[in-house]
Structures are given as C-alpha cells and as structure tokens.
Amino acid sequence: MDNYLNSFREMIFLRGLTDHTLKNYCTYIRAYLDYLSTCLHKLPEDVSWPELRDYIKWLQNSRNLSDRTINCAISQLRFFTLYVLHKPWDDTQLPMRRFDEYLPFVPSKQEVSILIDSMPDLKQKAMVALMYSSGLRIGEVCHLRYEDIQRQNMRIHIRHGKNRSDRYAILSKRALDILTAYWFAFGKPVGWPFPKQHDSSKPIDTFYLSRHIHEAERSLGWEQRITCHSLRHAFGTHLYEDGVDLLTIKALLGHKSINSTTIYVHLASNGTSDAVSPFDLMGGGHAQ
C-alpha cells in the first residue's frame, strides 16, 4: 500500500497543493489503505462502490466523526480515485453529507481587551494582539516575516494566504507597541518574528498559542470558549459593528467570496437586531 500513498503524495505535489493540504489529505487516505489491508484484503482499484460506502460508515462510527469531517474524507477519496487510480468518480454513489451550521462564539471588545492584558508572556500577548487587531489566521501569524511588517504604511503584507493570494492587513498602533516590546525583550529575533522554540530557523508551530489562550481563560475564571479563529471572527464582527462595509472587511480578511463575510451581519450586535418587523410598522389597532 505504500506505493499508493507515495503516488498520492506525488499527485498532490504536482497539483501544487500546500504542505498543509498534503498533511490533511494523507490522514484519511492512510486510514483507508489500512482498512483495505486489514479488513477487506483488497487493492484500491478492486473496491466496489458498496464497499466504499461501508468504509465511510465504518470511519464515522469507529472515530465518531462529524459530517463535515466525513465530507473531507470523501473529498480525499475522490482525489485518490481520480488522480492515483485514474478511474471516474460518481457523486451519486457517494454523495457529500449535509451538515448543520452554527454561529461561532465571538468575544466582545471588552473580553478581547481583558484577555490580551491578562497574558503575562509578551510573546503570547504579541501573537494574540496581532491576530485580533489584524484579523489574521493563526498560520498567518506564525509565518510572518519581519519584512512583512510595514511600519511606515502601518500595514502587514500577508503572503500566500489560505486562498493562495497575497493581501495587506491593518497594522494596529497598539499591537505594534506590544510587538516592539516583545522584540526587545526576546533578543531582537530576525527573520521569523515568532520562531520555533528550539529551532529559530523555523516558524513557531500553529498549535503553540491555543493552550496559552485556554490557560489565560482559566486564570480569568472563564469558560474555554475562545480559539485562535474566535479572534479573527471578533475582528470582522467588531469592524462591522463600527460601521465598516462588508467589501472592505472581505478584503482585509482575505475571503475568497463575500458569502464568507456576510456571517458578521449575524454576529454583530447591531446586525440583524436593528431590523424592525414590518408588522410593527403597520398601522391599525391592537388586540384587546
């Protein structure tokens, strides 16, 4: 089965997909190949559609995966079938799951301010401040270069974001002050502002910050509700509450579609709540 996995990796490389995509895609393809070896005792090209559907059922039941995650696994199987096995894929044989969508938790401006002020470590404080004040993804914070921080123009150059496109993000004066204090306190690091702890030639791992955010929440007596992406959502939500239009927010966040940005209409305190029902605007008497 190693030959199939190697071919899979090669096709991802040839498609020009990112290392992050490679890692994610290999997760469930490796599980699929293991399943074929230990359970079905078949080669991938010999697997039938019913057997493929049985695998998806087994995967969800054995790992208790969400429908959204199962869709990722199906996408990986589709890629594997098309680009490694060179066989056609039929969406009617293994359709994508429908799943419920929930509004994410967004901390208030006061909660964000308290969280940042409560973090005793300047490195963590600078990362959280940048993430919130510029609306950055955690990967974008970790992979920043010092030359990307343009103090003169008060903006940050984000290279090769999630949608494989560059953009400029806001550079907050307050966040820059925290970043500058961190830079002096941590020996004026060059290259990566936030290098890996034991190898300064590499950027810090994306999972580094999450546990420190939860530690800060525990110290404040809060529930553990804030994630790195909560801070990005807070940036978009608070901009909308302050009157910034959706197209500007879309550009600052690097969204590919305006549909991704419209969520902030629902999350903002002055979004849908300012609407008045047409029934209340009608004339006429009221029930006695």
Beta strands in the chain (DSSP E): 149-150, 155-158, 167-170, 195-196, 199-203
How far apart, in whole angstroms, are the C-alpha atoms of residue 190 and residue 237?
A: 33
Nearest 5°: phi and psi at 122?
-65, -30
- DSSP strand pairing (167-170 vs 155-158): antiparallel
DSSP string, 183-242: HHHTT---S-SSEETTEEEEEPPTTHHHHHHHHHHHHHT--S---HHHHHHHHHHHHHHT
What is the CA 175 to chain-centroid distance, rounded? 21
Q: What is the chain's alpha carbon radius of gyration, rounded to the nearest angstrom?
A: 23
Residues near 198 by Cβ (< 8 Å), separated by ≥ 6?
none
Residues labelled catalytic = 137, 162, 229, 232, 255, 264
CB 169 within 8 A of CB 252: yes
Name the token pair of 123.
Answer: 């490195």
CB 8 within 8 A of CB 22: no
> CB-based burial of residue 240 (10 Å sphere; 0-12 exposed, 13-18 middle, 19+ buried)?
buried
How far apart, in whole angstroms, are the C-alpha atoms of residue 200 and residue 169?
A: 25
Name the token pair of 280.
Answer: 């209340």
